[in-house]
């Protein structure tokens, strides 16, 4: 791919054709990624090392931690961020290959419909990620996790495990839910802005 295509693609990703889309890019790219990359590592970085069960043995701790965390929150949220970016990235790659200027997207019905479809896909992916997060992590991290260690052939099938920094993790969970809700609202608002521009209620940029 030529440098011009790459330049158009990067400009499209960083400067979508709508005001709300540009704000979404700023919020998504800076605030949300910074929150996950910096604070997420601080909260979850050493969780496996400090996760301890009774009896405090390595095999029990590892077994119960894998049961407690089928997937680590950092990995889940990183995958969510990447997957949610795919529809928009695909559209801007298409626009770059077709040499479509950002200011012309809202002037053409096909391009506008394609762009709205990519935004709608983002909404669906965010909603699916929201549901999966509820299934995997819930809304609260308890201080005690009851682990089923029957597969290890222990005398007791259930053992108690201490979850480190459970309050911080609960706050972080709520924050990530909030970010998902905000991005969905921004996506809906962007579709509304596009509709208003097409109807002439708002002037095009």
Band (125; pLDDT cuts 50, 70, 90):
very high
Query: Which single residue is written with the structure tokens 């200027």?
Result: 101
Q: What is the structure's pLDDT at 15? A: 62
**What pLDDT score was predicted for residue 4?**
54
User: Does 107 fall in a domain?
Assistant: yes
Q: In this prediction, what percent of the chain has a pLDDT beyond 70?
A: 87
Residue 177 lies in a domain: yes
Residue 147: domain span: 17-195
Output the average pLDDT for the chain. 80
Taking 80 as the threshold, does the pLDDT of residue 26 lie above it? no
Domain count, the chain: 1
Q: Is 7 part of any domain? A: no
Residue range 76-104, pLDDT digits in tens? 888 888 888 888 888 877 777 777 777 77
pLDDT surpasses 70 at 10: no
Domain-located, residue 168: yes
DSSP characters over the chain? --HHHHHHHHHHHHS-SSHHHHHHHHIIIIIIHHIIIIIHHHHHTTHHHH-EESS--HHHHHHHHHHH-SS-HHHHHHHHHHHHHHHHHHHHHHHHHTT--HHHHTTSHHHHHHHHHHHHHHHHHHHHHHHHHHHHH-S---SEEEEE-GGGT-S-SEEEEEPTTHHHHHHHHHHHHHHHHHHHHHHHHHHHHHHHHHTTSS---
Judge whether residue 9 has pLDDT over 50.
no
Spatial contact of 73 and 137, defined as CB atoms under 8 Å apart:
yes
| Mean pLDDT calculated for residue range 121-141 | 91
Residue 72: both structure tokens together: 């680590």
Domain presence at residue 11: no
Tell me what pLDDT residue 128 has: 94
Task: Supply the CATH number for residue 88's domain.
Answer: 1.20.1440.80
Residue 125 contacts residue 87 (beta carbons within 8 Å): yes
Whether the pLDDT of residue 178 is over 80: the answer is yes
* In contact, 141 and 170? CB cutoff 8 Å: yes
pLDDT per position as a tens digit, 54-67: 877 888 888 888 88
- Using CA atoms, how far apart are residues 39 and 54, in angstroms rounded to an integer? 29
What is the pTM for the complete model shown? Answer: 0.81
Q: How far apart are CA 171 and CA 152, in angstroms?
A: 33
Predicted confidence band at 5 (pLDDT cuts at 50, 70, 90)?
Answer: very low
Cβ neighbours of residue 136 under 8 Å, at least 6 residues apart? 70, 71, 76
The pLDDT of residue 192 is above 70: yes
Q: Is residue 108 part of a domain?
A: yes
> Is the pLDDT assigned to residue 174 strictly greater than 80?
yes
Q: What is the pLDDT of residue 164?
A: 86
pLDDT of residue 32: 79
**Per-residue model confidence (pLDDT) at position 201:** 66
In a domain, 10, yes or no: no
Considering the domain boundaries, does residue 158 fall inside one? yes
């Amino acid at each position: 791919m030529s440098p011009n295509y790459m330049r158009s693609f990067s400009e499209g990703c960083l400067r979508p054709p709508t005001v709300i889309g540009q704000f979404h890019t700023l919020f998504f790219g800076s605030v949300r990624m910074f929150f996950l990359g910096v604070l997420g590592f601080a909260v979850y970085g050493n969780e496996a090392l400090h996760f301890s069960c009774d009896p405090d043995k390595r095999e029990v701790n590892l077994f119960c931690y894998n049961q407690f965390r089928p997937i680590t929150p950092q990995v889940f949220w990183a995958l969510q961020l990447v997957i949610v970016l795919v529809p928009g990235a695909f559209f801007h790659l298409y626009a770059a290959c077709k040499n479509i200027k950002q200011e012309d997207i809202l002037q053409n019905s096909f391009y506008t419909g394609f762009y709205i479809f990519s935004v709608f896909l983002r909404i669906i992916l965010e909603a699916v990620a929201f549901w999966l997060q509820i299934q995997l992590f819930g809304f609260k991290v308890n201080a005690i996790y009851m682990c089923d260690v029957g597969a290890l052939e222990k005398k007791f099938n259930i053992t108690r495990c201490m979850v480190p920094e459970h309050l911080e993790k609960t706050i972080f969970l709520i924050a990530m839910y909030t970010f998902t809700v905000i991005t969905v609202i921004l996506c809906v608002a962007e579709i509304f802005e596009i509709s208003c521009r097409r109807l002439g209620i708002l002037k095009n940029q």
